[in-house]
Every structure is written in structure tokens, then in C-alpha cells.
Amino acid sequence: MLKIGITGQNGFVGTHLFNTIGLQPEVYERIPFERFFFESEVALDTFVSQCDVIVHLAALNRHNEAEVIYETNLNLVQLLVASLERTKSKAHVLISSSSQEERDNLYGKSKKEGRELLANWVEKNGALFTGMIIPNVFGPFGLPYYNSVVATFSHQVANGETPKIEVDGQLKLIYVGELVAEIINAINHKINDPKYTVNHTSEAKVSGLLSMLQHYKAEYQDKGQIPAIQNAFELNLFNTFRSYMDIKNYFPVKFTQHTDPRGTFVEVIRLGVGGQVSFSTTVPGITRGNHYHTRKIERFAVIKGKALIQLRRIGTDEVLDFYLDGENPSYVDMPIWYTHNIKNIGDEILYTNFWINEFYDPNDPDTYFENV
């Protein structure tokens, strides 16, 4: 069992890494980290001494004063190095540096000098070290105005604001899930490299990103249609966009009913992608689901009966309740990294239509069970 600790565990990348290694509890044990550990030698030493692997992600990305960014980031590394020395740790240490290392700014300078500080400690102590040079990272739950332009634009577009392009540059990007996979690969293969370059997986101009996000809003948020998705980058960007929607007030979405003397016709979904459509019946009092996905797009549509659909983001406590009734057919889409279920709360059989954008593959189900 490999014991892994993550400084910055509650940050953007840290949250995704923490949740992902939690999917394999038989392989990895997560050593919890709290921000105040950096304020207490005893707490930090206790944390460090428990870890076989330490992934140092804690850093300040933005501040009104660049000197504060520089001093904070360097100080965090110095505190970690001091703890490694006090505990005589032999942990495999990984640090997230940035492709901005070579730019003329204090953030890039702080990341480069921090990486070199750790590399020097490792050289003296014979431990493993992976100094990861990382391109621009995007993905769900990043902080707008802080983590990335994708986070900022996604938040603005999803909430009806007007984004402004400051510099229409060409960005080299990596999805947070892909970065997490790179970090886990470096851990598993004990990569010992003080300047390990993580390659970007996609490129896009800032204006192109904004155009795609505005398209997702027009198609998905405004019309309820699943847009055409041509590749992994577009799927990742779409799932990122969805994470910034106010789902608490957006769902459930009522279908348009077309009624005449013959009865009623309801169009359940319009797709720019393929996938699998199914339906289920659920007897009163029974709950289905209690699982989550990390990449799949899924829609639950109640067409007869009464249902309670519940969602909870992994790692949080807030449960979102959505009540649906077949008298007014409606749907709820499942965001990634939200465990979800559906319960028949009526007195008759519940009929539900399900759509998911991938065929079910038992060898790669992307389905993880956790109670809401």
C-alpha cells in the first residue's frame, strides 16, 4: 500500500488527484493534508513522516502583488524541505512547476526556484524527485479569475456574463484528468527527473475557446441539446463548461409536450453524439444508482410516476434534491464527479428514460459506487 500525501489537497489539481487515487483504495492510502500544517512544524512533520510519496501542489497562483506570490511559493517549498530534513524522509517527492518558468514574471520564477530547491535536497539525500513542468491546466471546478482562462470564461458564459479577451494567444493545454494520470504514472514508475516536461495534449486560441464555450451554452444550456463532440478535448471542454452551470436552479428541465386527441408526444433528447438509450421501471420505494462518472454525460428523464433525483459532488456534503413527475415530464443531467441516484417516491411504477454518451463497457465502465 503506497501512502500518498498531497499539499494543496483542496486546490484545483489537488482535489482531482485526491479523488482519483481514492478510486483505488487497495493500491493507495491517502494521507490527509490541511493548510495549517505549514504553520506548525509538528503537524507538518507528522504528515511528512507518514508519506511514501509527497505531491507538492500548494502554491499561490494570483495576487495583486507579484512579490507576495514569489515569497509565498518559495516559502512553502522551504518549509517542506525543512520538514523533509527534520524527519529524514526518503519519500518520493513530486512538485508541480509551470511552463511559465522561462517567462519574465515572479510566478514563473517562484516555481522554478522552488523546483530547484527540492532538486538540491534530493541530490543531497538520495531520494526520488519528479519536478514536473506543466502547461496550462483546465477542467471542472477550477476557480474563475484564478486557475485558468477556461475557468473564467466558462463561469462567465454559463452565468450570462460577457467575457473579454485581453490577449488572443495560442494556449498549450492539458485536461486536469490527463495531468492526474501523468502524476500517477510518475509515482507508479518512480520517475526520477528534476525537470520532467509534461506535454500538452491540445492547443487552442483564446478566441477559439470562447467560441466553443458560447456554442455549448447556446446548444446545451439554452436548448437542452447535446452538442457535437469530435474528440477527447471537446468532451473535456464540454464537461468543464457544465461544471460552472448553476445546476441547483437549472434542473429539472421540463420537456415540451405536443398534445392532440391521440395523446402526447415528447422529444427526450437531441444529440450531436451517439451513445446508448435505455429505460427502466422502478417499483415504489426503491432507489437506483448511488454511483458517479468521471467522464460520461448522462441524462435521466422521468416520463411516468414520481421521482426524487439526488446529486452530491464527491468530497462535499451538500445534497441537491430534484423532484420530477411524469405528469410534467422533465429531465436532469448528471455532472461528472457527482454521485447520483433516483428513487421512486410515488405509489405507482416509475418509468425512466436514460441516455449516456458511451456504450457500456464492462472493462472500462467509468462507474464508481458511492452513496449520495
Instruction: Report DSSP state, residue 269.
Output: -
Domain 247-369 has CATH 2.60.120.10: yes
Please list the pLDDT of the chain residue by residue as tens digits (372 residues): 999 999 999 999 999 999 999 999 999 999 999 999 999 999 999 999 999 999 999 998 878 788 999 999 999 999 999 999 999 999 999 999 998 888 878 888 999 999 999 999 988 888 999 999 999 999 999 999 999 999 999 999 999 999 999 999 999 999 999 999 999 999 999 999 999 999 999 999 999 999 999 999 999 999 999 999 999 999 999 999 999 999 999 999 999 999 889 888 899 999 998 899 999 999 999 999 999 999 999 999 999 999 999 999 999 999 999 999 999 999 999 999 999 999 999 999 999 999 999 998 999 999 999 999
Per-residue cell: 188: 507508479
Nearest to 171 by CA among 100, 87, 70: 100
Task: Report the pLDDT value the prediction gives residue 260, as an integer from 0 to 100.
Answer: 85
The answer to whether residues 133 and 198 touch, using CB atoms and an 8 Å cutoff, is yes
Task: Report the pLDDT value the prediction gives residue 77, as an integer from 0 to 100.
Answer: 97
CA contacts within 13 A on the Cβ side of 223? 15
Cell match 415540451: residue? 256
Give CA separation, 362 vs 36, 62, 71, 359, in Å.
Answer: 42, 43, 49, 10
The answer to whether residues 122 and 85 touch, using CB atoms and an 8 Å cutoff, is no
* Pairing of β 338-344 and β 287-292: antiparallel
Q: How far is Cα 217 from Cα 74, in angstroms, rounded to an integer?
A: 40
| In the chain, where the domains are located | 2-137+171-202, 247-369
Q: How far is Cα 285 from Cα 129, in angstroms, rounded to an integer?
A: 53
- pTM beyond 0.85: the answer is yes
Cross-strand partners of 271: 226
DSSP string over 34-69 = -GGGGG-HHHHHHHHHH-SEEEE-------SSHHHH
Q: Omega before 135 cis (within 30°)?
A: no
Task: Report the pLDDT value the prediction gives residue 66, as an integer from 0 to 100.
Answer: 81
Task: Report the pLDDT value the prediction gives residue 102, as an integer from 0 to 100.
Answer: 81
DSSP string over 106-121 = HHHHHHHHHHHHHHHH
The CATH number of the domain covering residues in 2-137+171-202: 3.40.50.720
Task: Report the pLDDT value the prediction gives residue 104, as an integer from 0 to 100.
Answer: 78
